[in-house]
Structure 1
Amino acid sequence: MSSADEILDIVDEQDRVIGQSPRGEAYAKGLRHRCVFIEARDAEGRLFVHRRTPTKLVFPSHYDMFVGGVVGAGESYDDAALREAEEELGVSGLPRPTFLFKFLHDDGAGHAWWSSVYEVRCELPVNPQVDEIAWYGFLSEAEVERRLTDWAWAPDGLAAYEHLKTLRAAG
């Protein structure tokens, strides 16, 4: 089964399931669904940053400071967060990611999804999925901040990053 055929729950403005659809159709029709974003840090506290492959269905070749992806039909956000983090980082045995907050990402141009944001410490050697990740590195927060204007970032990840910075600044 290709990623475009994966079945997703379609949700309303309150994140209640109202139907199901294959991922490709959900993207093509701009149907609201669920995603997880996981901030992964290494033992030194550096942030895992990567460039998406050019074959990704959304935001190909963009940089992102989160690993993650869609929540499958009937799957919980928490289960999807652990699954996606382990898949994309190429590890097994991660601690369960810690939930931070949830927000509705809607760019007004057909990209709308409920986004559940998590964090996890990954002290294991990573082996990222080559079909998902074209480049990666663990960067300091200062380096990420310097790159924000230099690199093309996935807009949803950038929105999650900005929400997270605001949350952390508020204490």
Structure 2
Amino acid sequence: MSSADEILDIVDENDRVIGQSPRGEAYDRGLRHRCAFVLARDPAGRIFVHRRTATKLVFPSMYDMFVGGVVGAGESYDDAALREAEEELGVTGLARPSFLFKFLYDDGAGRTWWSAVYEVRCDLPVRPQLEEVAWHDYLTEDEVERRLGDWEWVPDGLAAYERLKARRRARRQDR
């Protein structure tokens, strides 16, 4: 089965399941579905950053600071986060990612999905999936920040990253 044939739950503006659709059709018709984003850090706290392959259905050849992907029909966000992180990092036995927050991504041009954001520490040597990852490295947060204006980033990952930074700033101000 190709990734375009994978069945997804289609959800409404409140993240309630209203139907199912093959992934390719969901993308073509702009049907709202679910995704999991996982910020993977190495033991030094650096962020796993990668460039997607040119064959990806969405945002080919762009950079991302999250691993993850669509949540399959009937799958929980938590299960999808772990599955996708292990698949994209090429590891097994990864700790369950910690849920941080959820938001509705909508680019205003027909791309919309509920996005659950997680974080995980990866102490294992990574072997990224060649079908998914064209290049990868661990970068410090300062290195990521310096590259935000230079590299072409996936817009949904960038939106998640900006929300994550804003949440951290708000928590520091509340202390």
Q: CA deviation at 1:16?
A: 0.1
The one-letter code sitting in structure 1 at the alignment partner of 2:117 is: V
Aligned counterpart, 2:116? 116
Give the AA of the match of 1:162.
Answer: E
Shift of 1:159: 0.1
| Counterpart mapping for 1:59-74 below 5 A | 59-74=59-74
In structure 2, runs of 5+ residues without a counterpart are none
Query: Which blocks of at least 5 consecutive residues in structure 1 are unaligned?
Result: none
Q: Match for residue 130 of structure 1?
A: 130
Please give the alpha-carbon distance, in whole angstroms, between the structure 1 residues aligned to 2:45 and 2:63: 19
Aligned residue for 1:166? 166
Q: For residue 21 of structure 1, report the CA deviation from its aligned partner.
A: 0.1
Which residues of 2 match residues 51-90 of structure 1 at below 5 A?
Answer: 51-90=51-90
1:104 counterpart = 2:104: yes
Cα shift at 1:162: 0.1
| 1:100, distance to aligned residue in structure 2 (A) | 0.1
- Give the distance between the partners of 1:29 and 1:10, measured in 2 at CA: 11
The equivalent of 2:13 in structure 1 is 13
Distance 2:119 2:170 in 1: 17
Work out the CA distance in 2 between the residues paired with 1:21 and 1:137.
34
Query: 2:143 aligns to what?
Result: 143
Secondary structure, aligned partner of 1:123? coil
Counterpart residue identity of residue 149, structure 2: T
Question: Residue in 2 aligned with 1:152?
Answer: 152
Cα distance between partner residues in 2 of 1:147 and 1:166 = 18
Distance 1:23 1:163 in 2: 26
- Root-mean-square deviation (CA, aligned residues, Å) is 0.3
- Percent identity of paired positions between Structure 1 and Structure 2: 79
Distance (whole Å) between structure 2 residues aligned to residue 144 and residue 83 of structure 1: 25
| Alpha-carbon offset, residue 135 of structure 1 | 0.2
Paired with 1:30 and 1:133, the residues of 2 have a C-alpha distance of 25
Any idea what SS the aligned residue of 2:150 has? coil
**After superposition, what is the alpha-carbon deviation per residue over 1:118-168, rounded to whole angstroms, capped at 9, x for unaligned?**
000001000000000000000000000000000000000000000000001
* Corresponding residue SS for 1:151: coil
CA deviation profile, 1:70-123 (whole Å, cap 9, x unmatched): 000000000000000000000000100000000000001011000000000001
Q: SS in structure 2 opposite 1:126?
A: coil
Q: What is the distance in 2 between the residues matched to 1:140 and 1:119?
A: 15
Moved over 4 A (4+): none
